[in-house]
Amino acid sequence: MQSFRTELEDLNNPVVARDILDLEKKIRLFREGKIDDDKFRSLRLARGIYGQRQSGVQMIRIKLPLGRVTTKQLRRIADISDEYASKNLHATTRQDIQIHFVSLDRTPELWSKLEKDDITTREACGNTVRNVTASDLAGIDPKEPFDVSPHAYETFRYFLRNPVCQEMGRKFKISFSSSEDDTAFSFIHDLGFIPKIVDGKRGFKVMIGGGLGANPYLALVAYEFLEEDQVIPFTEAVLRVFDRYGERTRRMKARFKFLLDDFGLEKIMALVEEERRALKVQQYPIDLNVLPEPVLPESIPAAEAVIADAAKYERWYKTNVFKQKQDGFFGVYVKLPLGNMSSTLTRHFADIVDQYAATELRITVNQGYLLRYVRPEALKHLYIALDKLALAEPGFDSVADITACPGTESCNLAISDSTNISLALEKVIREEYPDMVFNTDIKIKISGCPNSCGQHGLAGIGLHGSTIKDKQGKVLPALVVLLGGGKLKDGEGIISDKIIKIPSKRGPHALRILFDDYEANSQQGEYYHDYFKRLGRNHFYTLLKPLGDLTTVEPTDYIDWGEEHNFILHTAVGECAGVIIDLVATLFYDSEEKLEWSREALRNAQYSDSIYHSYSAFINTAKAMLLTRDIKPSTQIQVLNDFQTHFVETGNIPLATNFREFVLRINKSEPTEEFAIAYLEDSKKFLEDIVAYRAAVTNEVAVK
């Protein structure tokens, strides 16, 4: 423990050090039974600690804004995976890196070592603003009007530890695309930004309210053009609305997309405007130099590079290499099966990157890596070095580059395998349809459940894990087949259609049927989503219907991919969304903690943060009292209304004004020092009065 605390003293950021110490303290209190399990789960999720389906171990999600990672950071993560985890680095569709099988008690120490190279796990999970993603091309994209990397990074930095977004009803996702090609998929995000230049000014087309999951929604247009210094104020206002009005009881209805659907865009935008006065800043100029300049590779001698397989090199060059907007440099994609790279391989990979490319890489949304600033004379040398590590496989982002979530390997929510089936499908493509490596139109994406962590909902060919019963009631692992989804341009996309459910072991045959039909019936230059639309859903249902016939099941159909025994359904409550905390004492404790945070923010002249902490204390305190009467409001607004009805109007708690109006002064006043002080005092007194009332009532009941 002493060495751990010594390491914390070496950190430059006292806020981070205190955060890590607080995690260590909360773990200890949880082990001693002094913190409720649900409350502790919410706390650890917000620090990137996610329970696995295997008992007693955790997945740690490492938050890498815009997928940016340096070779030094990669080595640090690899070393940590060796020491604390399973010696593997898993790249995700949100440009994070995950490591698995970590002991909970070692997470503070792990986190402190990550922070030595400016890497965080904070708010990588839970009901927070998740990792801010961006096109991996940002900064080198020949089509980009400007580099969105600073905008994405500033957004990440502004909302990290921001009190507005620590305990929302559900997670919130933000993306920045580099051009109208929309390679960051703005149409499936809560907020998606597409860069524009209008009258010489930088700004963004803003998409709002998108999302995948079991109920996918396409985002709507909030602004055709929003100037760049308004991106962060607008985002903060949206988050305040979501925090206040978003569902908190029905987990499946708690995403922002459902609030937008219920209220409509016009009402949402009106509520956003109501928050403007109370924002910390009215404009937020983006520091275009917030990220360091890339460290470019040295020129190498023009030595001859001997290519053993010239045909493979040509395929690799055509599918994995492109010219950057910077003259004389190339970007090179590395295709990773399932996004996995062992820690040993990671270190060798980092050495190669240092030699032939910039020291900064980007993780891609399809679980690969992008090397940047490769000189033309280095391409063949780079290929040879990567090929020795089996990292020079052609077909990046092609049909043969399948995206898959970890599925039943570690996730509580996963129903059936999504990783081994992915490898089986890639084998079919590689051995039976080798020319498909050049097809970058059709995307194959697989998830272990309907929640779309593998993004099956936007795929040309999407699959998600499920189950199916035969006539005797025996359960088989299954795949739901979805077709026709895809990315268009400028914020437009298509959600895939559900076609049929089939036994999982029939997945490869389904792929053969779909490929053969595409080869026979597609028209020259026709996109897959257009081909699907032209032929219609019934055509594909008829094609695949025989695979759903359970009168012809084989014994192997009862065995999931990667298993040797008959299928056993094993799922638990997922942790992506956190939980609702219903214990009165815990909520009072939370209110006290938030008031202390408010006082600290006030001392640091962070008036907006202070006010929001005081507001959160108001909400927690009122909610605690409502729970004593078994009243469980589903939104913060309902908390305010129900407390007014059941405690103020009944005379139990005397207030000189309407409770909702009293608390919602938060969005009627500018965040001045004077208001922050007064609001903190009001929230503190409210908690004191409620605790005293609760004690009196409890004592009265005890006496009776």
Asked if residue 1 has pLDDT above 90, the reply is: no
Average pLDDT over residues 23-42: 86
The answer to whether the CB of 111 falls within 8 A of the CB of 99 is: no
Query: What CA–CA distance (Å, rounded) separates 48 from 121?
Result: 5
Asked if residue 10 has pLDDT above 90, the reply is: no
Give the CATH number of domain 403-558.
3.30.413.10
Confidence (pLDDT) at 581:
35
Tokens of 329: 């440099």
Average pLDDT over residues 626-631: 90
| Other beta carbons less than 10 A from residue 419's beta carbon | 25
Asked if residue 196 has pLDDT above 90, the reply is: yes
Which range among 504-513, 516-525, 569-578 shows the weakest confidence by mean pLDDT?
569-578
| Helical axes 2-9 vs 14-31, angle rounded to 10° | 160
Asked if residue 580 has pLDDT above 70, the reply is: no
For residue 320, how many C-alpha atoms fall within 13 Å in the half-sphere facing its CB? 31
Average pLDDT over residues 540-555: 94
Nearest residue to 569 (alpha-carbon basis) of 395, 375, 419, 413: 413
Average pLDDT over residues 128-134: 97
> In a 10 Å sphere around its CB, with 0-12 CB exposed, 13-18 middle and 19+ buried, how is residue 518 labelled?
buried
Give the CATH number of domain 584-703.
1.20.120.330
- What's the mean pLDDT when you consider all of the chain? 92
Domain-wise residue ranges, the chain: 2-115, 133-278, 310-388, 403-558, 584-703
What 3-state class would DSSP assign to 444?
strand
Query: What CA–CA distance (Å, rounded) separates 482 from 462?
Result: 5
Confidence (pLDDT) at 33:
84
Asked if residue 584 has pLDDT above 80, the reply is: no
Query: What CA–CA distance (Å, rounded) separates 94 from 114?
Result: 19
Asked if residue 699 has pLDDT above 70, the reply is: no
61-119 pLDDT, tens digit each: 999 999 999 999 999 999 999 999 999 999 999 999 999 999 999 999 999 999 999 99
Average pLDDT over residues 413-432: 91
**pTM for the full model?**
0.93
Query: What CA–CA distance (Å, rounded) separates 124 from 50?
Result: 9
DSSP per-residue letters across 270-306: HHHHHHGGG-S-S-----TTSSPPP-PPPP-------
Strands (E) across 599-655 are located at none
Would you state the CATH architecture of domain 133-278?
Answer: 2-Layer Sandwich (3.30)
Helices (H), 482-527: 507-521
The answer to whether the CB of 365 falls within 8 A of the CB of 175 is: no
The answer to whether the CB of 403 falls within 8 A of the CB of 446 is: yes
For CA atoms 418, 422, 428, 433, the dihedral sign is positive
Asked if residue 8 has pLDDT above 80, the reply is: no
Higher pLDDT, 505 or 573: 505
> CATH assignment of 310-388, given 3.40.390.10, 3.20.20.150, 3.20.20.70, 3.30.70.3340?
3.30.70.3340
Cα-based distances in Å from 521 to 400, 499, 524, 534, 695: 21, 18, 10, 10, 75
For CA atoms 385, 391, 392, 397, the dihedral sign is negative
Query: What CA–CA distance (Å, rounded) separates 324 from 208?
Result: 30
Q: Do domains 133-278 and 403-558 have the same CATH topology?
A: yes
Asked if residue 273 has pLDDT above 70, the reply is: yes
Confidence (pLDDT) at 516:
97
Asked if residue 582 has pLDDT above 60, the reply is: no
Cα-based distances in Å from 106 to 52, 63, 110, 566: 15, 18, 6, 36
DSSP character at residue 376: G
Which range among 19-33, 234-248, 497-511 shows the weakest confidence by mean pLDDT?
19-33
Asked if residue 578 has pLDDT above 60, the reply is: no
Query: What CA–CA distance (Å, rounded) separates 353 from 216?
Result: 38
Please, which residues have CB within 8 angstroms of residue 597's CB and are 6 or more apart in sequence?
A: 163, 609, 613
DSSP per-residue letters across 115-144: HTTT-B-TTSSSSSB---EE-TTTTT-TT-
Identify the band that residue 363 occupies on the pLDDT scale cut at 50, 70 and 90. Answer: very high
Confidence (pLDDT) at 572:
53
For CA atoms 41, 44, 50, 54, the dihedral sign is negative
Which range among 324-338, 405-419, 530-544 shows the weakest confidence by mean pLDDT?
405-419
Query: What CA–CA distance (Å, rounded) separates 1 from 7?
Result: 10
Fold observed for domain 2-115: Sulfite Reductase Hemoprotein; domain 2 (3.90.480)
Tokens of 462: 């999407």
Tokens 């690969």 locate to 368
Q: What percent of the chain has pLDDT over 90?
A: 80
Average pLDDT over residues 261-290: 97
Query: What CA–CA distance (Å, rounded) separates 422 from 235?
Result: 36
What 3-state class would DSSP assign to 483?
strand
Nearest residue to 54 (alpha-carbon basis) of 18, 27, 85: 85
H or E element, residue 204: strand 201-208
Confidence (pLDDT) at 14:
86
Tokens of 71: 């070779």
Average pLDDT over residues 589-618: 95
40-52 pLDDT, tens digit each: 888 899 999 998 8
Query: What CA–CA distance (Å, rounded) separates 16 from 20?
Result: 6
Confidence (pLDDT) at 583:
60
Confidence (pLDDT) at 534:
97
Sheet order of strands, 497-503 included:
403-404, 444-447, 461-469, 475-483, 497-503
